[in-house]
Every structure is written in C-alpha cells, then in structure tokens.
Amino acid sequence: QLQLQESGPGLVKPSETLSLSCSVSGDSISSSSYLWGWIRQPPGKGLEWIGSISYSGSAYYNPSLKSRVTISVDTSENQFSLKLTSVTAADTAVYYCARQPVAADKTFDCWGQGTLVTVSS
C-alpha cells in the first residue's frame, strides 16, 4: 500500500529557507509511470500547486513561485524534497506531497497527511 510522509521543521523564520522531504513507501519513486508533486494549503484556505518532478529529475514549477522553489528527487532514498527560499508569513501553510500517475493524467491520486509549516520569528 502506497504511503507518502512529509517531514521537516514546523517553524521557519522569515527570510529563511523552508525545507521538506517526502518519503515514499509501498512503491518505487523510480518509475516513469508517475510524477511526484507538492501542494500547499494556507490555514482555512484553498489549495495551491507548488511544483512536480519526475524520477529523472525533470521538474516544473508554479510560475508564481518558480523563482523561490526547488524540487529534487533522491531515488536511492525513495524520496523527493522541496526547498522554498525567502519565506514570509504568506508561506505559512499545510504542505502536502502527492503522487501523480501518468495513467490518471498526472492528477494527484495519493497524498501524504500533510505537515504544517509556520513562518514566524
């Protein structure tokens, strides 16, 4: 059974870099059948796609965040990661990682439980 688990600091200071990882179990991240994505949700608000990556490392990002985002993949650890630089309070959100099957049009078919990241001094 596929499981995704986000991990990383729950509190980040303004202007610093937010770093999260997503560990994948129950499936191999090294498959051309999937992309792997990050989505966030500010408290009480809607969803925002951050970016996605393939097992080969090809990444693409939300244009509104592109200048601050880097997503990378580590096939040896079966995980992928998110870095968001120069954070502000507006980056406070629950951050989710998710699988994107090619067979399902690369929509988000399996999600992690999410991790709350608060940006505050």
Partner 1 sequence: EIVMTQSPATLSVSPGERATLSCRASQSVNSNLAWYQQKPGQAPRLLIYGASTRATGIPARFSGSGSGTEFTLTISGLQSEDFAVYYCQQYNTWRTFGQGTKLEIK
Footprint of partner 1 (CB under 8 A): 46-49, 60, 62-64, 96, 98, 104-109, 111-114
State the minimum distance, in angstroms, from the CB of residue 73 to partner 1: 18
Q: How far is CA 99 from CA 20, 63, 67, 76, 84, in A?
A: 16, 20, 23, 18, 20
Cβ closest to partner 1, residue 72 vs residue 113: 113
As to burial, measured by CB atoms within 10 angstroms (0-12 exposed, 13-18 middle, 19+ buried), residue 2 is exposed
Cβ closest to partner 1, residue 55 vs residue 114: 114
State the minimum distance, in angstroms, from the CB of residue 84 to partner 1: 17
Among residues 94, 93, 97, 90, which one has the least CA distance to residue 111? 97
State the minimum distance, in angstroms, from the CB of residue 106 to partner 1: 7
